[in-house]
Amino acid sequence: MAERFRAPSKPLRIALAAILAAAFVLGAVVFPYGEWMAEHFAPLAVGVIALGAAAPFCRDAERMLAIGMLCLPLTQAPTLKALIRWRVSEVVGWIFLLKHLKEGGATRLPREARMFVAAMSLYFLYTGAVGAALAGATETPVEKVLEYYVSPFFRSFLETARGAAALGMVLELLRASRDFGDLRKWAALLALGGGVSGGYALYQSFVGFYGLPLPLLPGTLSHPWSLRPFGTFYEPTGTGSFLAAAMFLDLYLLTTGRRRGLWAGCLAVSAMGFFASLSRAGWLGLAAGAGVFAACTLADRWALRAGAVARQRVIWKGMAAAIIAVCALALGGWAASGMMGSSNVSFALSGDWLRQSAASRISAYAGVPSGILDCWGVGFGQGLLIFREGGAPGLVRLILEGGIIGICLLAILHASTIQSLRALLNHPEHEVRRYAAFLAAAYASCTVTTLNYINTTDMWIWVVWGLPVISLGAIAENLR
């Protein structure tokens, strides 16, 4: 029977409403462009407060969680005017966070899960507090950034709220994951979301290349001189990065479960959308994930102990998954090239363009030590780096906004994830080890893509990072 919500306490709802109201009043009165913000975002504040108060009426927690997982790739499109650039998954995450603040979360979690939750919570609490403290003193040399992001205070508040939503989703996944069937369900929802997002990216390329008068989702972005699809994300890099991780879950479901026609279709569509995005970060992430998957498969110590027959079975299944992946990418490349034009593909993958892109990323990472010194090791605060630099690769943002304390917390977070993957890969059941190999590939792919320009407060990143500890919590009692 599905779990039912109980009403959050009245003080908790009042506190949420007061925090949101204060943020929007300060943004509208104290900081520049406040009138624009009040016009466009005041309905959002009202909607969020209403959703928080309406949490008791969202009766089926399991269905809400499924909706949140399925909508993870909807980070930019579609949008409504009253919910401008807002994400369904984040609203669901806030409701779950309210629930956990009042009732508590899962009990008897393994140490790795507790470390992950603590590090993630403290990272967003710390960077949010620093952002609130430094927002008033933040200089904005890039004036156009102010026009788009409204004010430093509002931006810091918004990005911290997005991190809190991701925390709420992770907490609920930890509570709701009770067995291996639940883990397969989360993987299926992520893979299905990838298929939908990849299909829409392909559709966007098709419409753009042929100039067809077909509708696009409201809020869809496009590049003024490129046919690279943004899909449901803020940029093509986000599309390629998400699809790179989702394809490993497609492969897992295709090679291990039922409805293989569905997962074969999702994999094919995701591969086409992935190739059409021409995301260099996505290709790096895909390569890193493939390498991790191969290493995990070949190092399966339980299969090695079982003898030559088991070793051959593991190797053959790994090779089959690799062949399927290569065929899907070849199909994706053929279809995407036809829809985008070979000249556009050649330009995006040309050596000069790749060298130019790599040089800008290397320059950004070379400036990290001086950036940490500029903020005295404290960090710039959540969401504020955009006002100083005008943009930076995802990992650079995570480091500079968190400072030395943020670096330590991120190290703890990833250490707990890697330790969870290690425990899963040493599980005595072959099905769990096979799942862990694909999960490790998705984690590696997601982590590597943060080296490029990607919005690191997108919830899907934190959910993928958290899946190993969520999985360990679901099957911890079966570990040796």
| Residues forming a β-bridge with 60 | 4
Same domain flag for 182 and 160: no
Report whether pLDDT(124) > 90: yes
**pLDDT tens for residues 132-180?**
888 776 666 555 444 455 677 778 888 898 899 999 999 999 988 988 8
Please say whether the beta carbons of 375 and 400 come within 8 A. Answer: yes
Q: Is residue 252 part of a domain?
A: yes
Q: What is the pLDDT of residue 207?
A: 80
> In this predicted structure, what is the pLDDT of residue 202?
84
Which of 107, 141, 175 is the last residue in one of the domains?
175
Place of tokens 């995802």: 394
- The residue among 270 and 361 whose pLDDT is bigger is 270
Nearest to 221 by CA among 211, 212, 232: 232
- Is the pLDDT at 65 greater than 70? The verdict is yes
How much is the pLDDT for 280? 83
How far apart, in whole angstroms, are the C-alpha atoms of residue 428 and residue 434? 11
Question: How many other C-beta atoms can be found within 10 angstroms of the C-beta atom of residue 115?
Answer: 19
Q: Do 251 and 163 fall within a single domain?
A: no
Q: Looking at the domain assignment, is residue 473 inside a domain?
A: yes
Q: Is the pLDDT of residue 477 over 80?
A: no
Are residues 274 and 247 located together in one domain of the fold? yes
pLDDT of 30 reads 45
pLDDT at 83 over 70: no
Q: How confident is the model at residue 57 (pLDDT cuts 50, 70, 90)?
A: very low
SS3 218: coil
The number of angstroms, rounded, from the C-alpha of 446 to the middle of its chain's C-alpha atoms is 8
Whether 32 shows a pLDDT value over 50: the answer reads no
- pLDDT for position 147: 47
Same domain, 236 and 319: yes
- Same domain for 209 and 167, yes or no, is no
More confident call, 21 vs 45: 21
Q: Is residue 472 part of a domain?
A: yes
Residue 354 has pLDDT above 90, yes or no: no
Cα–Cα dist 230/336, whole Å: 14
pLDDT, tens digit, 9 for 90 and up, residues 175-219: 889 888 899 999 999 999 999 999 898 888 878 777 777 788 777
| pLDDT tier, 229 (very low <50, low <70, confident <90, very high otherwise) | confident
73 preceded by a cis bond (ω within 30 of 0): no
* Domain co-membership, 315 together with 433: yes
15-29, 56-70, 327-341, 405-419: least confidently modelled range: 15-29
Q: Both 375 and 423 in a single domain?
A: yes
Residue 406 lies in a domain: yes
Which has more pLDDT, 368 or 358? 368
143 within some domain: no
Place of tokens 């590049």: 223
CA proximity to 274, closest of 318, 208, 330: 330
pTM confidence score:
0.84
Percentage of residues of the chain with pLDDT beyond 90: 24
Give yes or no for a contact between 89 and 164, defined as CB atoms under 8 angstroms apart. no
Residues 278 and 215 reside in one and the same domain: yes
Q: In whole numbers, what is the pLDDT of the chain averaged over residues? A: 77
The tens digit of pLDDT for each residue in 366-415 reads 778 888 888 788 888 888 887 776 678 888 889 989 999 999 999 999 99
Would you say residue 133 lies in a domain? no
**Percent share of the chain, pLDDT over 70:** 68
Is 146 domain-assigned? no
The tokens of 347 are what?
């330009």
Structure tokens at 364: 């950004």
215 and 76 fall within a common domain: no
Domain limits at 429?
178-478
Q: Is 144 contained in some domain?
A: no
Provide mean pLDDT across the span 66-86.
71
- Tell me: do 215 and 93 sit in the same domain: no
Q: Please state the φ and ψ torsions of residue 4, each to the nearest 5 degrees.
A: -110, 145
Asked if residue 198 and residue 183 are part of one domain, the reply reads: yes
Which pLDDT value is given to residue 369?
Answer: 80
Selected residue with higher pLDDT from 19 and 415: 415
Tell me: do 301 and 375 sit in the same domain: yes
Q: Count of domains in the chain?
A: 2
